[in-house]
């Protein structure tokens, strides 16, 4: 499944704008994300990611493939739920992978039509809005819908860099 | 946690012998095991294993480290339960690992004191008995207990090779 995802820096009062457009609050999640580096491939260069995400409802291992276009963050995503993220990290380390970075954020989710909007407060980076669309609709159409939502919210240009990459930039 | 594990080829009537020694039937499991090879390390040479096991109660990812002595199959084992073994296989493939072998077996488990005895019918290999001990007891003592159980069952020498290695031998 290909997920269409666009992201932009947020502005003050964004929650009210989302509600004004007809958005409905889904809930709040706290994410603790561990990113791993590969022993034989530079995931930053290949535009891939391997992540353990720990949140209230449980933990997941996720692989993200290279992004598919230059406007959005759309890419292949593979995910599996795991019962013990610490054991999984030990397994990844045993087979040669190592913890490269940690990203912590507080995510407030809204439903808006077919889209899911996430207002993210990312430790060390600030506020962002992500628009996600997963559906049977044609991909180009979904992409236009997602970018149009950013525009209607009065947000600036779509950012393709991941929080991991943005955090990396702040350290350079 | 270090698991002490010894294994030997089985003999006819082994179930009765186990029951005679005081063993109690725990249950029967069907295992479908997928073994993976690493893109940058020969697990056969490093004596490691990375496995997805699918059985009735669910699926697990397991890493096994090199064996710790020359008499038993004792080694470090790390395990995590996963909800979707197919997605996990896709993730392993995406990060460079590939399916190297499949081992199918029917395992009948018995409890005998602190030990768990497994009578395994392995597709393509025949019948085996495994004795597993996991506990707080000193490791050498656990090893003696496990080897003594094989002896009391009238079984031959302990085999350190995995089913994966034994299957590999039959193909040479």
Mean pLDDT score, A7-20: 94
Number of other CB atoms surrounding residue A24 within 10 Å: 11
Instruction: Give the DSSP H or E segment for B8.
Output: strand B2-9
Q: C-alpha angle with apex A128: A126 to A134, nearest 5 degrees? A: 150
On chain A, the residues whose CB falls within 8 A of the CB of B80 are 82-84, 87-88, 91
Token couple for A121: 């407060």
Could you report the per-residue pLDDT of B93-129, keeping only the tens digit for each?
999 999 999 999 999 999 999 899 999 999 999 999 9
Confidence of residue A139 (pLDDT cuts 50, 70, 90): confident
Sequence-ordered list of residues with C-beta below 8 angstroms from that of A8, at least 6 positions apart, any chain: A128, A129, A150, A155, A156, A157, A158, A159
Confidence of residue B162 (pLDDT cuts 50, 70, 90): confident
Per-residue pLDDT for B172 more than 80?
Answer: no
Indicate the SS3 state at residue B145. Answer: helix
On chain A, the residues whose CB falls within 8 A of the CB of B82 are 61, 80-83
Mean pLDDT score of chain B: 92
Token couple for A107: 């995510």
Residue found by looking up tokens 């600036």 in the block: A156
CB A134 within 8 A of CB A151: no
Residue pairs between chains A and B whose CB atoms are closer than 8 Å: 72
Mean pLDDT score of chain A: 92
Per-residue pLDDT for A3 more than 80?
Answer: no
CB A6 within 8 A of CB A150: yes
DSSP B17-35: HHHHTT-EEEEEEEEEEEE
Q: C-alpha angle with apex B53: B129 to B153, nearest 5 degrees? A: 5
pTM: 0.84
CB A101 within 8 A of CB A164: yes
- Mutation pick from A41, A49, A87 vs chain B, by most beta carbons of B within 10 Å, is A87
Task: Decide if A90 and B78 are in contact by the 8 Å CB cutoff.
Answer: yes
Lowest mean pLDDT among A13-17, A67-71, A93-97, B28-32: A67-71
Residue A1, pLDDT score? 61
CB B83 within 8 A of CB A60: no
Residue B134, pLDDT score? 76
As a whole number of Å, the CA-based R_g of chain A is 16
Could you report the per-residue pLDDT of A97-138, keeping only the tens digit for each?
999 999 999 999 999 998 999 999 999 999 999 999 877 668
Per-residue pLDDT for A2 more than 90?
Answer: no
DSSP A154-168: T--PPP-S-HHHHHH
ipTM above 0.95, yes or no: no
Please list the active-site residues of A: 35
On chain A, the residues whose CB falls within 8 A of the CB of B50 are 91, 95
Residue B2, pLDDT score? 65
Sequence-ordered list of residues with C-beta below 8 angstroms from that of B169, at least 6 positions apart, any chain: B161
């Amino acid at each position: 499944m290909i997920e269409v995802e666009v992201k932009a820096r947020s502005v003050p009062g964004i929650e009210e704008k989302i509600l004004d457009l007809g958005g409905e609050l889904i809930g709040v999640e706290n994410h603790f994300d561990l990113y791993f580096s590969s022993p034989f491939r530079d995931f930053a260069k290949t535009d891939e990611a391997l992540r353990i995400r720990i949140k209230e409802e449980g933990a997941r291992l996720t692989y993200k493939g290279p992004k598919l276009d230059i406007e959005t963050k759309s890419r292949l995503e593979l995910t599996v739920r795991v019962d013990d993220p610490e054991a999984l990290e030990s397994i990844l380390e045993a087979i040669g992978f190592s913890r490269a970075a940690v990203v912590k954020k507080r995510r407030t989710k809204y439903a808006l039509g077919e889209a899911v909007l996430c207002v993210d407060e990312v430790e060390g980076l600030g506020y962002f809005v992500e628009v996600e669309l997963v559906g049977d609709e044609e991909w180009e159409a979904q992409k236009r819908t997602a970018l149009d939502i950013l525009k209607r919210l009065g947000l600036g240009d779509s950012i393709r860099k991941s929080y991991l990459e943005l955090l990396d930039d702040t350290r350079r």
